[in-house]
Amino acid sequence: MNTRTLAAALAGATLFGLTAQAAPQPKHKAKPAVTVTVTNSRKVDLVQLEAAGSGSTDWKKVVGPVKSGQQASAKLPQASDCRFDLRGTFDDGESMDASGINVCTDKTLNLTD
């Protein structure tokens, strides 16, 4: 095949979208989430609840606000060991901290005074 014929064939293929395309990249599967039920049994509203992988400083808001006496669902990405540190702040300025909570076995969190 001479150079002119090859160039014409490539130009025609390009016009008709027949050129080779890169194979699509596989989509990364999201880690499954663990749902934890948060019950605010305190007399004041929860402003927000944050979570970080146990020992991490990468805090992310997972739920809030939650009124006194109410429940909400918090979705946490499933860590390899299922352990998270939790930090909650309340309307009265108080806060709570819990370390190393296994959210795969403890799927409820009851916030009390």
What domains are there in the chain, each with its CATH number? Answer: 33-111 (2.60.40.2890)
Mean pLDDT rounded to a whole number for the chain? 82
Closest CA to 48 of 25, 26, 74, 84: 74
Kind and range of the H or E run holding 10: helix 3-15
So what's the pLDDT on residue 22? 57
73-101 mean pLDDT: 91
Rounded to two decimals, what is the model's pTM?
0.69
Kindly tell me if the per-residue pLDDT of 1 is higher than 60. no
